[in-house]
Amino acid sequence: MSTASACAHLSDLFPGTSALASKAAVSQLIEAGILVELSSNLDHQENRFDECVWQSETMAHSLATRRVRWMAEESEVEAFGELLREQAIPALWNDLDDDGTSWQPFGVDLAARKVFQIFGLRRSLRQFGSKPLAREALGAVLSSGLGIQGFLQLPFRPTYPLRFTPSPGALNVFTGYLLAHNVLDIRSGIYAFNGFRNQGKRIGELPTAPLSTLFGNQQWANEAAAICILCADYQKMSWKYNDPSAFNSLLIESGHIAQNMMVCAAALSIGSVPTNAVDQAGLEQLLGLTFPHQAVLYAIAFGHEDPHRSRDHYSASTLARLREIMEVDDGAKSPVRTTPC
């Protein structure tokens, strides 16, 4: 249906609401996913809906966050500034030691020292420099989360793949894809990662639009040497798990995979930042995945630090605006919406 006939159709449906029947209103309804353009990605997704693999409650759980729209930094600072100024900040860590009761110290086993030293190297990094990642370093990072170390054979059950990270039912439903932009000996492009063989296969070109558009408008996405995207195979998961907690399990599993990758990266002096601010539908289209069989859930960006930049991810102008808001601001209030964390 053309925009003009969509306008006419809306006037028929809602007589007397001329505001709805304008081109601008139609574009807004399309952007919000209330109207669906024929042959668009969303239209294809909707047509595949009856191929849905999960029971409806599980699917509703996974759908609830699919169309989050992330703010740009200029809007985010308005909302966050207002929050900081107008609402008490909750305690960001718990120190329960002030209630007069006695607590018993646990101590830390010295045998954990080595692993703690490595954990201590991980810090989210958002200022990536131009130094490329070494291919083997990237291979190690990806393998630490998705690599298959061995197999478990138990009577009457499938042969289970075992990774460095736990997986519900050992179903191993995650595949990693890579947007490689600055990796030595690896041509820029989109790669699928084979965790069994620690190999990558180039499956396409990087998009021409800035990658930040796919990751909540965050500038670091344009500068990272590589971004790993974790995609879950809903169909495989539903083979065994179909109840609403199946989706929780996937989110938790993606966190385990990402954490191993980030700690491994830190051990190799590579910086990383995770994000759930992913344009799921956009990335799935880019990677050639078919929702609702497969879905993008989480992503981790990697690269070497640019030591000449501040670790504060706010730009100078955003910081100046935050100062303004915190000191005095009588301007119009903006509604609080979802922001990348």
Ligand X SMILES: Cc1cc2nc3c(=O)[nH]c(=O)nc-3n(C[C@H](O)[C@H](O)[C@H](O)COP(=O)(O)O)c2cc1C
Q: Which residues bind ligand X (CB under 6 A)?
A: 123-124, 126, 216, 218, 273-277, 340-341
Tell which residue, 162, 166, 163, 122, has the closest CA to residue 144. Answer: 163
> In the complex with ligand X, which residue's Cβ is closer, 139 or 255?
255
Distances (CA, A) of 231 to 4, 206, 251, 298: 38, 17, 11, 7
> In the complex with ligand X, which residue's Cβ is closer, 48 or 123?
123
Nearest approach in angstroms of CB 277 to ligand X is 4
Query: 132: cis peptide before it, omega within 30°?
Result: no
Residues 6+ positions from 7 with CB-CB distance below 8 Å: 21, 22, 23, 25, 26
Residues in the chain: 341
d(CA 130, CA 135) in angstroms, rounded, equals 15
Nearest approach in angstroms of CB 251 to ligand X is 9
Residue type, 68: V
Nearest approach in angstroms of CB 301 to ligand X is 9
d(CA 246, CA 95) in angstroms, rounded, equals 34
Nearest approach in angstroms of CB 147 to ligand X is 22
User: Could you tell me the sign of the dihedral formed by the alpha carbons of 168, 171, 173, 178, in that order?
Assistant: positive
Max distance between CA atoms of the chain, in angstroms, equals: 75
> In the complex with ligand X, which residue's Cβ is closer, 121 or 162?
121
Nearest approach in angstroms of CB 10 to ligand X is 36
- In eight-state DSSP terms, residue 269 is T
Nearest approach in angstroms of CB 169 to ligand X is 23
> In the complex with ligand X, which residue's Cβ is closer, 37 or 74?
74
> In the complex with ligand X, which residue's Cβ is closer, 126 or 181?
126
Distances (CA, A) of 77 to 74, 82, 251, 288: 6, 8, 28, 35
> In the complex with ligand X, which residue's Cβ is closer, 26 or 277?
277
CA dihedral 285→289→293→299, nearest 10 degrees, is -80
> In the complex with ligand X, which residue's Cβ is closer, 218 or 249?
218
Nearest approach in angstroms of CB 255 to ligand X is 7
